[in-house]
């Protein structure tokens, strides 16, 4: 059962790379090429929200106790961000199956939702890891981030001639989390009450 659980977590992380990073990058540049403002705005918002996912990866590398909890919060926020905006949803409804870009975007949104749900289910199977990622039973959640750690460590050493350690990853992750949280609070207090579920993509392409 442990082998099956480990395989499921490994698969979940690799699917995350495809659907959280790979496909959104493709859709973003595709929307720029096709000058589809609605899809471009949706992906712009998505990338802002998804920063928390990258922060959680740093915290996983740094073995921060609540890293898995933050990872799940990030996937939840990313899923909400692609469904939340009424004006973008209405715009996407106007396109039929004859538009490859919008059809792919719609499929990606549903895929993102199911993968995020699967990630949450996998995490709940190890619910103790939400508050203490350093327990022996939580080691399987740290293994997928080890390859990223090696990559960042080599790049850090190449560009700065210094060693990138787990405490440094934890520091950068917590500092970024603080900035991200302050930005999210500011948006919730000032912009959300003003704009509601309107992304204003048709006005200026910003939110």
Contact in structure between 156 and 164 (CB atoms under 8 Å): yes
> What is the spatial distance between Cα 123 and Cα 117, in angstroms, rounded to a whole number?
10
Instruction: Tally the domains of the chain.
Output: 1
> How many separate helices (H) and strands (E) can be counted in the chain?
10, 0
Q: Is residue 205 part of a domain?
A: no
Give the residue numbers spanning the domain of 172: 2-195
CA-based torsion, 153, 172, 187, 76: positive or negative: positive
Give me the pLDDT at residue 202, please: 67
Q: Is residue 112 part of a domain?
A: yes
Residue length of the chain: 207
Q: What's the pLDDT band for 206 if we cut at 50, 70, 90?
A: very low
Residue 187 has what DSSP assignment? I
Q: Is residue 207 part of a domain?
A: no
Q: Is residue 49 part of a domain?
A: yes
33 is written with which tokens? 């090429």
Give the pLDDT confidence of 93-132 residue by residue, as tens digits: 988 778 899 999 999 999 999 999 988 988 888 899 999 9
């Amino acid at each position: 059962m442990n082998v099956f659980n480990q395989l499921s977590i490994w698969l979940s992380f690799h699917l995350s790379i495809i659907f959280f990073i790979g496909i959104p990058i493709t859709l973003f540049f595709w929307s720029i090429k096709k000058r589809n403002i609605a899809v471009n705005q949706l992906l712009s918002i998505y990338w802002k929200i998804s920063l928390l996912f990258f922060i959680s990866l740093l915290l996983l590398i740094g073995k921060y106790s609540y890293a898995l909890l933050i990872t799940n919060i990030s996937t939840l926020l990313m899923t909400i961000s692609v469904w939340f905006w009424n004006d973008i949803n209405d715009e996407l409804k106007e396109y039929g199956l004859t538009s490859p870009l919008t059809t792919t975007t719609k499929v990606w949104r549903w895929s993102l939702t199911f993968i995020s749900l699967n990630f949450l289910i996998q995490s709940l199977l190890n619910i103790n890891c939400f508050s203490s990622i350093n327990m022996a039973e939580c080691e399987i959640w740290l293994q997928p981030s080890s390859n990223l750690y090696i990559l960042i460590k080599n790049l850090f050493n190449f560009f700065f001639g210094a060693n990138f350690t787990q405490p440094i990853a934890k520091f950068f992750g917590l500092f970024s989390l603080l900035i991200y949280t302050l930005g999210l609070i500011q948006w919730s207090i000032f912009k959300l009450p003003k704009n509601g579920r309107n992304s204003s993509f048709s006005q200026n392409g910003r939110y």
